[in-house]
Structure 1
Amino acid sequence: MTVVYDDLRPADAARCAELEAQLFDGDDPWPAAAFVRELAAPHIHYVAARADDKLVGYGGIARLGRKPPYEYEIHTIGVDPAYQGQGIGREMLARLLNIAGDDTVYLEVRTDNAAAIAMYESAGFVNVGLRKRYYRVSGADAYTMQRPARGGST
């Protein structure tokens, strides 16, 4: 299997919503319209992972602020359950972090998502806080994680 990485497109929104419903069923999965809005924003960038021309993963990052030094926030990373454990999420994370360069990056992750937490920690993220009941539907908590700016303080 060959995985190709490129930009997510508005035509991918329905497939993203389909994957969201599988991956985040109890946590208010995003509808296709949310992805269309995200893709239209000039300060947000999404990457896609495709296997045999099928979208199997997506990830998005937003630049915060109007003037440097910027901060970034990862909005989401999702990988089709049939393709998990093959490094696709890690590659998309690396591509998103490349967009952020040396700037600070934040994200939220469910406190019980051990695989995602381990992936983020391996990419230099540290836990900087707890957001109680962050996920509205399930009431699950989230850690706020940060990859500090490189070569400077946060």
Structure 2
Amino acid sequence: EFKDNGGWPHQIYVREARRMIGAFVMTENHLRKKRPTPESVGMGSYTIDSHNVQRYITPEGYVQNEGDIGVSAGGPYAIAYGALVPRRGQADNLLVSVCVSSSHLAFGSIRMEPVFMILGQSAATAAALTIDARLPVQDVPYARLRARLLEDGQVLEYAAPKE
């Protein structure tokens, strides 16, 4: 495979890079609904997963993988507007829809491309509101943002099917 490139792929897959530490940090506890998520701007639902962090040789001479995890989020979860917004005083004109403010495990689920598209739409809507009102991104009135997102068809909370 990749004989024309010394056995290396032409593009390296980077699963996770640096993430912003924003106004709100999404964690596994938010995804699993053990803590509330304020000001939803979209939903995710993928399994919380992480590839092996390292391999090592055990004292018995076996190869052991460490750091692999795959845990259900327990259904769809909300993603907070604060995870897209820098802390006050860091930047007032930046919205981040990919390198969102989240823990390593939370990002293991949030990292899916459909979620990035959802967050990109929400960030664009928030950007339009900040430009129109000449406000820092931290001061977007959530009620206005929420109303516009819902008007545009964004799903902000999960409603279980009726039995």
Shorter chain as denominator, the TM-score bin is under 0.3
Max Rg structure:
2
Tell me the TM-score normalized by structure 1: 0.27
Higher strand share: 1
